[in-house]
């Protein structure tokens, strides 16, 4: 087994708050520069750029996991990460069916769908920055029904996190892991963020700009840099683990 570095929360130019420069090829190139072996693309309420980044990653030897950062009815952000694009797009269908409103680019920013050659395909017109009408537990269940991993995003942040918005992590919500932001060193997470003890803890960049890709990452001990091994590391199967 080896140590593989993963940044499992990266936005692309599809996120209204994501920089134009967050194009499929450039995200992958920057990830390589930063020594990342695995990244996840998790745009707000959408996976429409995940396939293009996966294709760019395949060409460059970076494992790209397709995902979404879903905003629940309680305005809690959770990451849904999937083994393959089909599962991510199925989750996107559920999210789109419960996502009201349309984007105002002047107010929120552009939402660019790109291909793996960095060409603009179209603009997404949904209100991706908005909250879905899905309750948190329904999102976790939907992600799990598609064999995905559901991770509570940036739990240390004062907004849009399960702890900030609900006050605690409900005992019946079955997160596969929780994520702390770059503001909390992973080694200090369990001391600094009470209430997360029962979960595996990762850290990711939540990058919206190229310079932030890989500003923090999680070191996993794995057989190989693939989605299934991340799952096994979160479960602690046969020596796989998060290295802190
Ligand atoms: Zn978020
Ligand atoms: Zn994010």
Range of 117's domain? 2-243
CATH code of 64's domain: 3.20.20.140
| C-alpha 206 – ligand 2 centre gap (Å) | 5
Closest ligand relative to 160 C-alpha: 1
Q: Separation of 241 CA from ligand 2 center, angstroms?
A: 24
Q: If you measure from the C-alpha of residue 56 to the centroid of ligand 2, how many angstroms do you get, rounded to a whole number?
A: 21
Q: How far is the CA of 199 from the centre of ligand 2 (A)?
A: 20
Please say whether the beta carbons of 156 and 181 come within 8 A. yes
Length of the chain: 244
**Token pair for residue 46?**
């959408």
Residue 17 DSSP symbol: T
Give the ligand at the shortest distance from the Cα of 159.
Answer: 1
Distance between Cα 75 and ligand 1 center (Å): 10
- Are 56 and 80 contacting, i.e. CB atoms less than 8 angstroms apart? no
Q: Point out the ligand nearest to the CA of residue 131.
A: 1
List, as ranges, residues with CB under 5 A of the ion ligand 1.
77, 153
Q: Is the dihedral of CA 124, 32, 226, 174 positive or negative?
A: negative
Q: What is the pLDDT of residue 20?
A: 87
Chunk the chain into consecutive blocks of 10 residues (it has 244) and report each block's average pLDDT, rounded to whole numbers. Answer: 98 93 97 98 98 97 98 98 98 98 93 94 96 98 98 97 95 96 97 96 98 98 98 98 96
CA of 76 to the centre of ligand 2 (A): 11
pLDDT of residue 71: 98
Q: How far is the CA of 78 from the centre of ligand 1 (A)?
A: 7
Continuous H helices in the chain: 24-33, 50-60, 85-96, 105-108, 136-145, 162-166, 189-192, 227-235
Question: Do 78 and 153 form a contact (C-beta atoms < 8 A)?
Answer: yes
CA 235 to centroid of ligand 1, rounded, Å: 24
Which string of DSSP letters, residue by residue, matches 131-182?
--S--HHHHHHHHHHTT-EEEE--TTSSSSSHHHHHSS--TT---SEEEE-T
Number of domain units in the chain: 1
Per the listing, tokens 């750029």 go with 49
Tell me the CA–centroid distance for residue 153 and ligand 1, in Å: 6
Spacing, Cα 10 to ligand 2 middle (Å) = 7
239 C-alpha to center of ligand 1: Å? 31
Asked if 204 and 9 count as a contact pair (C-beta separation under 8 A), the reply is: yes
Tokens of 179: 């994520």
Which tokens in the block code for residue 11?
């936005």
Query: What is the CB neighbour count within 10 angstroms for residue 195?
Result: 14
* Gap from CA of 17 to ligand 1 centroid (Å): 11
- Distance (angstroms) between ligand 2 centre and the Cα of 18 equals 9
């Amino acid at each position: 087994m080896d140590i593989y570095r993963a940044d499992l929360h990266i936005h692309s130019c599809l996120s209204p708050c994501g920089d134009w420069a967050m194009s499929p090829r450039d995200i992958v190139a920057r990830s390589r520069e930063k020594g990342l072996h695995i990244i996840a693309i998790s745009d707000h309420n959408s996976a429409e750029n995940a396939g293009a980044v996966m294709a760019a990653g395949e060409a460059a030897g970076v494992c790209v996991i397709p995902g979404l950062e879903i905003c629940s009815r309680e305005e809690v952000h959770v990451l849904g990460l999937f083994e393959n694009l089909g599962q991510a797009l199925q989750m996107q269908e559920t999210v789109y069916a419960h996502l009201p409103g349309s984007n105002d680019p002047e107010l929120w920013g552009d939402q660019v769908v790109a291909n793996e050659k960095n060409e603009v395909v179209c603009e997404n017109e949904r209100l991706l920055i908005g909250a879905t009408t899905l309750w948190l537990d329904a999102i976790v269940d939907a992600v799990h029904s598609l064999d995905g991993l559901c991770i509570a995003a940036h739990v240390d942040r004062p907004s849009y996190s399960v702890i900030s918005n609900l006050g605690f992590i409900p005992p019946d919500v079955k997160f596969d892991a929780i994520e702390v932001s770059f503001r909390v060193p992973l080694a200090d997470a369990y001391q600094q963020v009470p209430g997360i003890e029962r979960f595996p803890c990762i850290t990711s960049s939540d990058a919206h700009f190229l310079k932030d890709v890989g500003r923090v990452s999680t070191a996993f001990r794995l057989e190989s840099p693939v989605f299934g091994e991340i799952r096994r590391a979160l479960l602690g199967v046969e020596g796989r683990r998060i290295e802190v």
